[in-house]
Amino acid sequence: MPSPPTVVAPLVKSPSTNPSQSPPSISTNDLGDIKPGTLLAYKKLSSEAQQYEIRYLIVDLPRKKQLASYIKNVMNKLRKETFELLTNELFQFLCGQEKTVSNQGIRIKNEEERLLCLSIVATLILAQLLGGDLNDIKTEIFLPLISMISKDPQHKEFGTIFLGRLHKKCPYTVPYYPIRQSHMNDKQYLE
């Protein structure tokens, strides 16, 4: 009678410290194709995005909702046919011009509110680009809008805020590829 098959216990990794408490420390030797300068530039960008977030978090919730209502209204109406008109209105609003929302005049009053509005725009764009299918209409509207706002000297922070928001939604936008060791199979490398 043949002997019963040997059962091998699965490899269980012991839980380490809570990863949300501190980011992993990565040696520049473990970065693979990512150059140390690239990682430093990313860390600088991430730090800048956090500084902007600290500044705009002081805006109270009712005011945030008021500002967001105008931006959402514009973003929801964006189409190829209305792109030029609505982006002009959005830029006017971001530059402090008063606009009407529900028969009430609203405008950005200070730098913190402006940064908050840039963050709201970034969040709404990402929701459109990352939600559902990425179709031609989305790319023809939102990608040029990202470029226009990022290149505007009055809103130079937008690119940093947008990338910070993108990284919060998709943490692997700046991947850490460890160097593959010769003894690793595909499964081990991907873990």
Judge whether residue 18 has pLDDT over 60.
no
User: How far is Cα 172 from Cα 185, in angstroms, rounded to an integer?
Assistant: 22
Residue 1's identity, in one-letter code, is: M
Q: How far apart are CA 147 and CA 157, in angstroms?
A: 12
Which residues on adjacent β-strands are paired with residue 99?
106
Q: What pLDDT does residue 83 have?
A: 93
**Per-residue pLDDT for 19 more than 90?**
no
For residue 188, give the amino acid letter: Q
Question: Do 56 and 119 form a contact (C-beta atoms < 8 A)?
Answer: yes
**Predicted structure pTM score:** 0.71
Q: What is the pLDDT of residues 41-79, one digit of tens each?
A: 778 888 999 999 999 999 999 999 999 999 999 999 999
Backbone dihedral angles phi then psi of residue 105, each to the nearest 5 degrees: -75, 135
Dist CA 9 CA 5 (whole Å) = 13
Helices (H) and strands (E) in the chain, counts: 7, 2
User: Does 10 have pLDDT greater than 60?
Assistant: no
CA distance linking residue 8 with residue 124, whole number of Å: 49
On the question of pLDDT at 34 being above 80, the answer is: no
Q: What is the DSSP string of 92-145?
A: HHHTT--EEETTEEE---SHHHHHHHHHHHHHHHHHHHHSS---HHHHHHHHHH
Pick from 69, 80, 183: which is nearest to 116 by CA?
A: 69
* Residue 6 confidence class, pLDDT cut points 50, 70, 90: very low
Report the share of the chain in percent with pLDDT over 90: 48
From the list 172, 185, 175, the residue with the least C-alpha distance to 32 is 175
Is the CB of residue 87 less than 8 Å from the CB of residue 148?
Answer: yes
Over the stretch 55-65, which tens digit does the pLDDT of each residue have? 999 999 999 99
pLDDT in tens, 156-178: 999 999 989 988 887 666 555 55
12 vs 115, more confident: 115
Distance CA 157, CA 159 (A): 6
Residue with tokens 């470029």: 147
Separation between Cα atoms, residue 94 and residue 88, nearest integer Å = 10
